[in-house]
């Protein structure tokens, strides 16, 4: 099969198209013919050596495709089923390839109204938004939710999810993305290139921080007592918990986990028209390096996806 691999850490240029052995599903696993693979910041970090695995790996944790075979004991999928999901993270999954194996319950039925390309952009970013807002922060109607990098892959889904849960949604984004975000349901927007969100906003209940660095401490200043910053960018953000507690606020660092129930919840929102995947760029598998270059530029509106099969 065709796959994208790397033998060393480095920039996008280390990604190479190779011929590799087609994997076989083990007990409890399925073999998926990958139709499309989402591209995410975790891919850039692992490629460059900043990931949690400590070695070069075959990238890709965001996939949509068709089950080709099932291993012993699999009861939730059959050959021919269209599925999507985020298998194995934070362990190696290998989605940048024509085939991958995955634990059966790391995948869910693909939403019927989404193409494989759109579904490949939903799993990782959608689960990240769901687990941050619903599982961790317990978003409720009327809560004030601030989403940083609101037009990005996680951000644009978090905006829609928070809105679907009845929250008042604030986003930080360049002015060029404000109309796009209003179309997704954002109630208030701050242009981070011209204004200081920490000076303009207050009484926020939940912050979803996809950027990290100084955004975390600045976000604490926007929270009302008991509010929470959910940091997604780096394990270093875990250090924010202590100053947050001292100020009567909360801060948590979160790594997204495979979650079939979460995937099904996202599918339900897609089915009711409350959630859609915006595609910024779609490229063929062999242009994975270009996809990484575009993604790391930080200008993507929505998702970047690689097509693998027709």
Cβ atoms 123, 85 nearer than 8 A: yes
Element (H, E) at 200: helix 197-200
Q: Determine the Cα–Cα distance for residues 25 and 35; give it in Å rounded to an integer.
A: 18
Which pLDDT score is estimated for 234?
82
- Written as tens digits, the pLDDT of the chain (310 aa) is 999 999 999 999 999 999 999 999 999 999 999 999 999 999 999 999 988 788 999 999 999 999 999 999 999 999 999 999 999 999 999 999 999 999 999 999 999 999 999 999 999 999 999 999 999 999 999 999 999 999 999 999 999 999 999 999 999 999 999 999 999 999 999 999 999 999 999 999 999 999 999 999 999 999 999 999 999 988 888 899 999 999 999 999 999 999 999 999 999 999 999 999 999 999 999 999 999 999 999 889 999 999 999 7
Query: Would you state the structure tokens that stand for residue 91, as one six-digit string?
Result: 């362990």
* Position 247 in a domain: yes
Is residue 262 assigned to a domain? no
| 119: helix, strand or coil | helix
- Overall size of the chain counted in residues: 310
Q: Are 157 and 277 in contact (CB under 8 A)?
A: yes
Helix (H) or strand (E) holding 41: helix 41-48
Residues 156 and 143 in one domain: yes
Judge if 227 and 296 occupy the same domain.
no
Please tell me whether residue 96 adopts helix, strand or coil conformation. Answer: coil
Token pair, residue 161, equals 């999810």
Give CA–CA dist 133/169, Å, rounded.
12
Report pLDDT for 50: 85
Rama region for 261: left / alpha / beta (φ>0; ψ in -120 to 50; rest): alpha
Name the DSSP class of 23.
Answer: P
Instruction: Identify the CATH number of the domain in which residue 198 sits.
Output: 3.40.50.720
Of 98, 148, 127, which Cα lies nearest the Cα of 40?
Answer: 127
Strands 144-147 and 204-209: parallel
Quick one: tokens of 30? 């399925």
- The confidence score (pLDDT) of residue 235 equals 83
Asked if 142 and 237 sit in the same domain, the reply is yes
Q: 143 Cβ partners below 8 Å, 6+ apart? A: 162, 166, 167, 168, 205, 206
67 within a domain of the structure (yes/no): yes
CB-hemisphere CA count at 13 Å for 265?
A: 16
Residues 129 and 116 in one domain: no
> For residue 259, is it within any domain?
no
pLDDT in the model for residue 54: 86
> Whose structure tokens read 């575009």?
294
Mark whether 8 and 78 lie in a shared domain. yes
CATH number for the domain that contains residue 67: 3.90.180.10
| Residue ranges making up the domain that contains 290 | 2-122+277-307
CA distance 245 to 267: 36
Residue 145's nearest CA partner among 128, 161, 131, 127 is 161
Domain count, the chain: 2
- pLDDT at 53 (0 to 100): 84
Contact 156, 278 (CB under 8 A): yes
Pair 18, 104 in one domain: yes
The verdict on 241 and 144 lying in the same domain is: yes
Residue 236 has what pLDDT?
80
């Amino acid at each position: 099969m065709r796959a994208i691999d790397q033998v060393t850490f480095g920039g996008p240029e280390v990604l190479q198209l190779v011929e590799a052995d087609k994997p076989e599903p083990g007990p409890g696993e399925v073999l998926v013919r990958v139709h499309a693979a989402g591209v995410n910041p975790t891919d850039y970090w692992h490629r460059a050596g900043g990931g949690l695995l400590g070695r070069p790996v075959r990238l890709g944790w965001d996939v949509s495709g068709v089950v080709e075979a099932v291993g012993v004991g699999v009861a939730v999928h059959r050959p021919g089923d269209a599925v999507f999901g985020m298998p194995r993270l934070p362990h190696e999954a290998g989605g940048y390839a024509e085939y991958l194996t995955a634990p059966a319950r790391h995948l869910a039925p693909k939403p019927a109204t989404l193409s494989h390309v759109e579904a490949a952009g939903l799993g990782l970013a959608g689960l990240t938004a769901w687990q941050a807002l619903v599982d961790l922060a317990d978003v409720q109607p009327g809560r004030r939710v601030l989403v940083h990098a609101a037009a990005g892959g996680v951000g644009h889904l978090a905006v829609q999810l928070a809105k679907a849960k009845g929250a008042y949604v604030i986003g930080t984004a360049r002015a060029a993305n404000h109309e796009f975000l209003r179309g997704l349901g954002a109630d208030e927007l701050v242009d981070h290139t011209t204004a200081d969100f920490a000076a303009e906003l207050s009484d926020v209940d939940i912050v979803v921080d996809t950027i990290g660095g100084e955004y975390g401490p600045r976000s604490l200043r926007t929270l009302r007592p008991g509010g929470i910053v959910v940091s997604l960018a780096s394990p270093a953000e875990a250090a924010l918990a202590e100053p947050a507690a001292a100020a009567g606020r909360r801060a948590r660092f979160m790594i997204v986990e495979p979650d079939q129930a979460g995937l099904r919840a996202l599918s339900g929102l897609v089915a009711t028209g409350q959630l859609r995947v915006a595609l910024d760029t779609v490229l063929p598998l062999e242009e994975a390096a270009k996809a990484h270059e575009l993604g790391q530029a930080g200008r993507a509106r929505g998702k970047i996806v690689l097509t693998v099969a027709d």
